[in-house]
Amino acid sequence: MDGTRWVSCRPGFFSAVRVLSRLFRRLFLEYLQASFEAGELAFFGSLAALAERIAFPRRLTELRRVEWVVYAKRPFAGPDALLAYLGRYTHRVAISNTRLIALADGRVSFRWRDYRHHNKSKVITLAADEFIRRFLLHALPDGFHRIRHYGFLANRHRADKPALCRRLLATPAPAPIADDNDCSDNVRNQCPCCGGQMEQVGPFPRSSPVSRSAWRDSS
């Protein structure tokens, strides 16, 4: 986009499988080479000869000549399901508090869903250190972020570029989201489940962490 017109990308640009395959091949082999040089790899059986300083780089050279394939296809349930799937990882922690059941004798019990058996809810108990180990597998290394914005959504552009994009595409701006502080009492006191109007019936005890007032649905 040059600021005066919208320039559409070519078809297949967002997920170019061939480019993605070659990028994955390069990164994979680079990290494999780094692990070899750091002495982190061990070879056994028919692969024992790759431990030689000359044999391993030669094998990597052979792998670079092979076309790798990254499996990519359209989601079965459409983009909404894909965004919902990714959203569970970008905007949530590895496990929610509601799934935690007990912590006793150095062991943690929590609920999980067995998708191989009709999405059945089950309970598993792990040693505390094993639970922490699995939890930390979902923690990003230092310097990494779950979401990075770039292009017209980058931090330095997001205040003005989206408005420019809408103008070039002749797309109206979305309706502003109402602030809870600006909502009328009728909207703020609406039941989030049934939409009925709630009315105040009395205060909660001072020790309650939920709210200072009790409400009931008057509908």
* Domain carrying residue 147: 143-173
More confident residue, 174 or 37: 37
Number of separate domains in the chain: 4
More confident residue, 171 or 184: 171
Structure tokens at 15: 């997920």
84 and 125 fall within a common domain: yes
pLDDT digits (tens, 9 = 90+) for 92-123: 788 888 999 999 999 999 999 888 888 899 99
- Determine the Cα–Cα distance for residues 91 and 112; give it in Å rounded to an integer: 19
Per the domain annotation, does 180 fall within a domain? no
Chain mean position to CA 42 = 33
pLDDT digits (tens, 9 = 90+) for 14-28: 677 888 899 999 999
83 and 132 fall within a common domain: yes
131 and 151 fall within a common domain: no
Per the domain annotation, does 72 fall within a domain? no
Three-state DSSP state, 48 = helix
Q: Which amino acid is at 87?
A: G
Containing H/E element for 171?
Answer: none
Predicted local confidence at residue 33, as pLDDT: 94
Residue 212 has pLDDT above 70, yes or no: no
The answer to whether 214 and 202 have CB atoms below 8 angstroms apart is: yes
Domain end point (choices 38, 64, 90): 64
Per the domain annotation, does 73 fall within a domain? no
pTM of the model: 0.43
Per the domain annotation, does 198 fall within a domain? yes
91 and 128 fall within a common domain: yes
| Closest listed residue to residue 145, CA positions, set 193, 198, 91, 192 | 91
51 and 85 fall within a common domain: no
Per the domain annotation, does 8 fall within a domain? no
Task: Count the helix, strand and coil residues of the chain and give each as a percent rounded to the nearest 5.
Answer: 35, 15, 45
Per the domain annotation, does 155 fall within a domain? yes
Domain end point (choices 64, 88, 121): 64
The answer to whether 60 and 53 have CB atoms below 8 angstroms apart is: no
Per the domain annotation, does 49 fall within a domain? yes
